Amino acid sequence: MNREVLINRTISNISLLPDLRLKEISDYVDFLLKMYDDKIITQGIMKLTSKSKSFDFLNDEEEIYDESDLIEKF
């Protein structure tokens, strides 16, 4: 099924529902859109931070501790 057919079928089915269910569907669609927006924003932030050079200075730090400093290994 293509997008247009799905949209038309969904609208047709929604029009058969009582008013209370329409409100529930509207709230659910708002929730889905917010989740989608949040996902896009999170992916954008992850992309920006992965390309960031903010913590590159840590690559030049000498290693102060290693495994031999551990008292107990898990």
User: Does residue 66 register a pLDDT over 80?
Assistant: yes
Residue 34: pLDDT over 90: yes
- Residues 17 and 23: their CA atoms lie apart, in Å, by 10
Q: Say which amino acid occupies 25.
A: I
Distance CA 67, CA 74 (A): 11
pTM value is: 0.57
